[in-house]
Amino acid sequence: MRERWSRWSTRVRSCAPSFPALDARRAMLALASLFVIGAGVAGVYRYAHVVAEVFHHPYFAVVHIDVRGAGNLVSEEELRRWAGVREGDSLWAASSEVLVDRLESHPMVKSASVRRVFPNRVEIRVRERRPAAIAVLEELYYVDRNGERFGPLQPVHDRDYPVFTGLTEESDGRRRWALRRALHLLRRAEAQRIGLDISEIHLDPVEGLILYPASPRVPLFLGWRGWERRLQSARRALSSWDGVADRLARMDMRYRDQVVIELREPGPVQIGGERAGKVST
């Protein structure tokens, strides 16, 4: 009987599952890891909650939007609207990079900078573009000294600039070249002090540049180059017609050593002892 009981106990022990000594240690490590993860999740949640509270706290609400550099082309109020920042917005949301990109996308702004001054101030600085003339296309545009057009003009914008006409919707490269030639002519006229108040420059693909003084309103055909001599010839020719310049229909300076003048009225006139319908001087 005792021998049978011994064999049965041995069989039971052989069928029982085995638990290595390390399993308990692994279980403890797993429980510890779960605890750390849970604590981390709770910490992240609490951190996000704190950040949200700070982000929307009234202490960081924008109170002052200081704008400098606005002049004749764009107003301070328009710059505030264009930047998209308003009083009461969170200063944390007013990203300097984003605001600069918005401001520099304005057609009248050359460059911009933005600084956040905590807790509640935004400082905006802009440089307006500098017009040199007005280009007449489907709308009116300013032209800067590099021949780049920008705009279009609004009713509040100053129009006291020389006007470039004759422009077409051709390629930007060709149009920019023509605009630069017209601007170069303006600078030459200013440098030579020819005494003409230039009102308009017409860009003609065949005739070249045609200059219209404000007074007398006589088209001066100058071509595309050689302007220094031609401008001086135009000044002398207009001086000789002082007082009767309204008789002039056009003056062509593109001929060497002479100015060809066409009169408005048909029939000969007495100029320097010579009767002519067209006069060369």
Percent of the chain, pLDDT > 70? 73
Q: Is 247 helix (H, G, I), strand (E, B) or coil?
A: helix
CB environment 48-65: b (16+ within 10 A), e (fewer): eeeeeeeeeeeebebeeb
Q: What is the pLDDT of residues 202-223, one digit of tens each?
A: 999 889 999 999 888 899 999 9
- Sheet with 121-128, edge to edge strand ranges: 64-68, 121-128, 109-117
Separation of alpha carbons 247 and 268, rounded Å? 12
Residue of higher predicted confidence among 172 and 260 = 260
Task: Please give the pLDDT value at position 54.
Answer: 52
Domains identified in the chain and CATH numbers: 58-128 (3.10.20.310), 133-280 (3.40.50.11690)
Q: What angle do CA 34, 36, 39 make, to 5 degrees?
A: 110
Q: What is the pLDDT of residues 74-97, one digit of tens each?
A: 999 999 999 998 888 888 888 899
pTM of the model: 0.72
Task: Please give the pLDDT value at position 52.
Answer: 54
Average pLDDT, integer, range 163-171: 81
Count of CB atoms situated within 10 Å of the CB of 81: 11
Quick check: 159 pLDDT over 70? Answer: yes
Average pLDDT, integer, range 48-58: 57
Task: Please give the pLDDT value at position 270.
Answer: 40
Place of tokens 């060497």: 256
| Separation of CA 100 from chain center | 12
Task: Please give the pLDDT value at position 42.
Answer: 47
Q: Is 65 helix (H, G, I), strand (E, B) or coil?
A: strand
- Radius of gyration of the chain, Cα coordinates, nearest whole angstrom: 41
Mean pLDDT score across all residues of the chain: 80
Separation of alpha carbons 126 and 112, rounded Å? 4
- Which string of DSSP letters, residue by residue, matches 117-176? ETTTEEEEEEEE----EEEESSSEEEE-TTS-EE----TTS---S-EEE---S--HHHHH
